[in-house]
């Protein structure tokens, strides 16, 4: 079965609209884990517009003390500040994302052919934390040989174009096939496969059916939107069912 990691950035963004401690990022993380999420994901950005750096020790402690069989995943652009932060926190998984601080959200993966040597240096350093290293990847199978050469453990398929085709079934099918071809190339090279961005209960089911090798999906916006209707615990159960949970 594909694991579900709940991205808490939207929860943190809502909290940050007021100088108040609610909604609680840690509290909703606890609800997600109790409902069966395999882990929690955050993507702290330099301006702390959603996840704050002060959230990270609390979330790590939540998992270590109450859910030691679950995982903490920290995403981000590997600046020196980011690398020093994850070296201190030591999450279970580090996901490298090539986003600019001014971007509203991540919108592309790495060019492994162009950036392979830089990524190799970064990955070698961060593997000393003991974390699994995942790197954001576009749907491009021609990049997978260069990706494998960096020493990463997993790619994270950027599923934004697939999610954006929610009202165009033909386009969604085309994007799904690109993702599948990339996953097949990565899997053939021994790489693990994660996926994330704009995934919903509806589009997650065909994604998993077409690419059963996906080890983990990280979902934030779609799950938070679903939770406004169903509540966090029920939304986690709904997304886990879409991932193939009994």
pLDDT for 177-189, tens place per residue? 999 999 999 999 9
Token pair of 85 as six digits:
């932060």
**Catalytic machinery residues:** 43, 75, 197
Angle, CA of 198, 153 and 102, to the nearest 5°: 45
> What pLDDT shows up at residue 107?
66
Helix-strand-coil split of the chain, %, nearest 5: 50, 15, 35
SS (H, E, C) 60-104: HHHHHHHCCCCEEEEEECCCHHHHHHHHHHCCCEEEECCCCCCCC
> What pLDDT shows up at residue 245?
79
> What pLDDT shows up at residue 143?
98
Question: Hunting for tokens 């096939």 — which residue is that?
Answer: 177
Q: Which residues of the chain have pLDDT under 50?
A: none
> What pLDDT shows up at residue 108?
76
Domains of the chain by residue range: 3-243
Angle, CA of 226, 105 and 163, to the nearest 5°: 50
In whole angstroms, what separates CA 246 from the centre of its chain? 23
Separation between Cα atoms, residue 18 and residue 15, nearest integer Å: 6
Separation between Cα atoms, residue 142 and residue 164, nearest integer Å: 23
> What pLDDT shows up at residue 168?
96
Superfamily of domain 3-243: Aldolase class I (3.20.20.70)
Reported pTM? 0.95
Separation between Cα atoms, residue 166 and residue 39, nearest integer Å: 26
> What pLDDT shows up at residue 99?
77
Give backbone dihedrals phi and psi of 192, rounded to 5 degrees, phi first. Answer: -80, 165
């Amino acid at each position: 079965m594909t694991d579900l990691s709940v991205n808490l950035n939207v929860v943190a963004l809502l909290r940050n609209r007021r100088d108040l401690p609610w909604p609680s990022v840690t509290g909703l993380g606890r609800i997600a884990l109790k409902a069966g999420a395999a882990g929690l994901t955050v993507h702290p950005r330099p301006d702390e517009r959603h996840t704050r750096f002060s959230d990270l020790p609390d979330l790590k402690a939540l998992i270590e003390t109450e859910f030691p069989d679950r995982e903490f995943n920290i995403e981000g652009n590997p600046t020196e500040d980011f690398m020093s932060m994850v070296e201190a926190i030591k999450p279970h998984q580090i996901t490298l994302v090539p986003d600019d601080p001014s971007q509203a959200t991540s919108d592309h993966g790495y060019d492994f052919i162009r950036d392979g040597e830089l990524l190799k240096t970064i990955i070698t350093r961060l593997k000393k934390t003991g974390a699994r290293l995942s790197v954001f990847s576009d749907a491009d199978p021609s990049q997978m040989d260069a990706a494998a050469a960096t020493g990463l453990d997993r790619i994270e398929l950027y599923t934004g174009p697939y999610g954006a085709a929610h009202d165009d079934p033909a386009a969604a099918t085309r994007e799904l096939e690109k993702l599948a071809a990339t996953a097949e190339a990565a899997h053939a090279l021994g790489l693990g496969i994660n996926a994330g961005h704009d995934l919903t209960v509806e589009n997650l089911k065909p994604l998993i059916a077409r690419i059963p090798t996906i080890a983990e999906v990280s979902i934030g916006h779609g799950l938070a939107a679903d939770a406004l209707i169903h509540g966090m615990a029920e939304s986690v159960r709904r997304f886990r069912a879409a991932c193939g949970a009994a």
